[in-house]
Amino acid sequence: MNQIQTLFSSFSKKRVLIVGDVMIDSYIIGKVERVSPEAPVPVVDVTGFDQRLGGAGNVALNVKAMGAIPVLCTVVGHDKEGKDLRDIMVKNGLSCSGLIHSDKRKTTNKTRVLGNNHQLLRIDHEITTDLDVVDSFLLEQRFAEELEQCDVVIFEDYNKGVLHGKNIQTLIKKCVQKGIPTVVDPKKANFLEYKHITLFKPNLKEIKEGLKIDGDLGDRESVALAIEQLMGRLENSMTLVTLSERGVVIKTQEHTHHIPAHVRTIADVSGAGDTVVCLAALCLSAKTDAKTLAEISNLAGGLVCEKTGVVPIDKEQLLAEAIRVLGS
């Protein structure tokens, strides 16, 4: 067994705690053949429905696809959508031990209406205010319980209120105290709240918005300066920035590596960031060096872009690709 195979084999022993915003992606699928006589809108003749895990749930599916054990820790509503979410998790073989149901929350459900394979409308059912004191306390308590058995923690922040300025540092501190590495997939609202994290993974748009950079990050020098500024603010150990068709760049306190993108036939970029953060976390938990971590994460993100829709990574395909590109 070569080094890459040994690394991938080690993933099956890892338990990954994913804390943040979990949601349902719902689809109403149909055909459009006429315009409504009541208003200038298409009439959708419904042919099917679908529900999938979104947000942090998609990260969990990627972790599971890699053979590791994902544990979702979040607060959702005590509503029909919350029950649907639990049912979808059970159907996908995911643990519900980290789920907290609250009467004060709505379970985020993004319903897309598709007609003739085109999205016509999206309906969002959600609350995006921060958790209140009671729900935050319950989340922190459940997080601490699940943390005892985990090897790495992923913070999945979609600005839906589960993670906020008052609980982020509390959760990070619990990880630091136990020596458990942490990975963040950030969004704008809490971008600079994640101090002392192990690995921070923004994309170019997020790093520009988070640092309020007006200029273009179109060259390596400007990206490097932005990352240096970011790490000075966050005091984190490692930053992995996804650069779309330009690949990824990873910076530690000592080294910077730019990993170019591989030539792909891009079908859909949806969910690629979830796959990247999953592989980064698993490699981090296995104490992989930064360059290899970035290379494998970059390969994984590229592979899922070749498939239509949000789908988890194929472990065997990624392993074969990693061996081909990186060797033994």
Q: Which of residues 25 and 302 earns the better pLDDT score?
A: 25
**Residue 265 pLDDT > 60:** no
Residue 144 to residue 233: CA distance in whole angstroms: 26
Residue 1 — pLDDT band, cuts 50, 70, 90?
low
Q: Catalytic pick from 132, 274, 289, 314?
A: 274
Residue 139 — pLDDT band, cuts 50, 70, 90?
very high
Please provide the average confidence, as pLDDT, over all residues in the chain. Answer: 93
Please give the domain boundaries of the chain with CATH numbers for all domains: 3-23+54-100+128-326 (3.40.1190.20)
Tokens of 286: 């296995």
Tokens of 198: 């192990």
Residue 276 — pLDDT band, cuts 50, 70, 90?
very high
Residue of 139, 141, 138, 106 lying closest to 125 (CA atoms): 106
Residue of 171, 289, 299 lying closest to 237 (CA atoms): 289
Q: What is the greatest pairwise CA distance in the chain? A: 66
Instruction: Determine the distance from the C-alpha atom of residue 78 to the mean position of all C-alpha atoms in its chain, rounded to a whole number.
Output: 24
**Angle at which helices 220-234 and 204-211 cross, to 10°:** 60
Residue 124's identity, in one-letter code, is: D
Q: Got the DSSP string for 21-69?
A: -EEEEEEEEEEEEEE-SSSSSEEEEEEEEEEEEEEHHHHHHHHHHTT-E
Continuous segment of H or E residues that includes residue 132: none
Mean pLDDT of 264-291: 84
Residue 273 — pLDDT band, cuts 50, 70, 90?
confident
Residue 197's identity, in one-letter code, is: I
**Residue 216 pLDDT > 90:** no
Q: What is the pLDDT of residue 80?
A: 97
Residue of 181, 193, 200, 179 lying closest to 251 (CA atoms): 200
Residue 227 to residue 207: CA distance in whole angstroms: 8
For 8-18, write each residue's pLDDT tens digit: 999 999 999 99
Instruction: Determine the distance from the C-alpha atom of residue 187 to the mean position of all C-alpha atoms in its chain, rounded to a whole number.
Output: 11
Instruction: Determine the distance from the C-alpha atom of residue 124 to the mean position of all C-alpha atoms in its chain, rounded to a whole number.
Output: 19
Tokens of 78: 């005590």
Tokens of 281: 């976390």
**Residue 140 pLDDT > 90:** yes
Residue 305 — pLDDT band, cuts 50, 70, 90?
confident
Q: What is the pLDDT of residue 215?
A: 77
**214 annotated active-site:** no
Q: What is the pLDDT of residue 269?
A: 54
**Are 153 and 180 a contacting pair, CB within 8 Å?**
yes
Q: What is the pLDDT of residue 311?
A: 77
Q: What is the pLDDT of residue 264?
A: 59
**Residue 270 pLDDT > 70:** no
Q: What percent of the chain has pLDDT over 90?
A: 82
Residue 258 to residue 249: CA distance in whole angstroms: 4
Count the helix, strand and coil residues of the chain and give each as a percent rounded to the nearest 5: 40, 25, 35
Tokens of 274: 């979830």
**Are 250 and 291 a contacting pair, CB within 8 Å?**
yes
For 153-202, write each residue's pLDDT tens digit: 999 999 999 999 999 999 999 999 999 999 999 988 999 999 999 999 99
Burial class of residue 134 in the structure, from the number of CB atoms within 10 Å of its CB (0-12 exposed, 13-18 middle, 19+ buried): exposed
Q: Which residues are within 8 A (CB) of 160 and not within 5 positions of it... i.e. 6 or more apart?
A: 21, 23, 55, 108, 126, 127, 128
